[in-house]
Amino acid sequence: MKNKICLVFLILVIILNLCSCTTAKKSFNVDLIVKSTDSEFWASVYDGAKAAGAKYNIDLRFLGPTKEKDYQNQVSIIKQSIVRQPDAIILAAGDYYIMAEPMEMAVKAKIPVILVDSGVNSDKWTSFVSTDNYKAGEVLAQEIEKRVGGTAEIGVISFVKNSLPSLERTAGFSDYISEKTNMKIVETVYCDSNIEKSEQLTKEMIENHPTIKVIAGLNAQSATGAARALEALERSDIFLAGIDCTVEEADYMEQGIIDVAVLQNPYLMGYFSVETAYNVLMKKRVERNIRTEVYVVDKDNMFSEEYQRLIFPFY
């Protein structure tokens, strides 16, 4: 009898010890893999992600190629991330087709993938947090129609040919222009999210189409490059519309070179993507598609209480 009691006590002590080992604070590791680590837009996404990470006790790693055009590197970055076995991966795919395979590898390795901003050609992901890019293109076209209208000729500077936002915005933009207006898209070029290339392409475009009246830059780099070109050519008469608004673009907007911009909310996207990752890890139900709003800003409202908050990051 006495031996039995001793045995039970021994087992009890062992159980208690084991329990105390697991009392460490619970936190998750999440890798945020973006298209470019050297961009105001992705910095803002990261800021939002960090804010949510702090709230939900998540350790974030901010990964990605330096330049957006090096999306090939993203494949190896994803693969390295999978090896490290994070609890979840948040991915902004640099290429709609190429990233599908590494993304599915992550899912196969039982790592849930939340897409942010840019999708991939696969449906294995858990949730997709993004701007409604088709709508963003449409809104941009709508603003141009409202502010220029008529039979104006339009040059489009898109960014990375096979990234989903680029595809969707171009589609949304050109669908609206061709179906609902009398304007015409004379050329669509791709700047690979490179400001210098965009500037060059804009100059060439103006040269090739001297009658061009409107230029639409479908992301920050496209619009910035176009603005630089217009400034250099002193062609502020050409109506420049862009998607996103960096501080540099804000300056161009104040000068009247950029006439209208459709804003996304990258900070909120980052925040929502981490929040969604947390909900997935906590086994809560999440929406498959989470869309953030777009806003229209111009020279007149850019310093309004509402929009200055979205354009200029608060440090």
Query: Exposed e or buried b for every residue in 244-272, given b needs 16+ CB within 10 A?
Result: bbbebbbebbeeebbbbbbbbbbbbbbbb
Contact 215, 230 (CB under 8 A): yes
Structure tokens given for 128: 């997709």
Binding to another protein in span 24-53, by CB under 8 A: 25, 47-48, 51
Asked if 3 is part of the footprint of another protein (rule: CB under 8 A), the reply reads no
Q: Is 315 in the site for another protein (CB under 8 A)?
A: yes
Does 267 interact with another protein (rule: CB under 8 A)? yes
Nearer to another protein, 1 or 83 (CB): 1
Residues 231-250 that bind another protein (CB under 8 A): 247-248, 250
Closer to another protein by Cβ: residue 183 or 223: 223
Site size with another protein, rule: CB under 8 A:
32
- Tell which residue, 149, 164, 60, 56, has the closest CA to residue 119: 164
Residues 90-119 that bind another protein (CB under 8 A): none
Binding span for another protein by CB under 8 A among 60-68, 101-109, 170-178, 266-274: 266-274
In angstroms, the CA 71 to CA 295 distance is 28
Query: Quick check: 205 and 189 in contact, CB under 8 A?
Result: yes
How far are the Cα atoms of 34, 48, 63, 81, 206 from residue 43, in angstroms, in the given order? Answer: 10, 9, 11, 20, 32
Using rule CB under 8 A, residue 56 touches another protein: no
83 lies in the binding site for another protein (CB under 8 A): no
Interface residues with another protein (CB under 8 A)?
A: 1, 5, 8, 12, 15-16, 19-20, 23, 25, 47-48, 51, 247-248, 250-251, 254, 265, 267-268, 271, 303, 305, 308-315
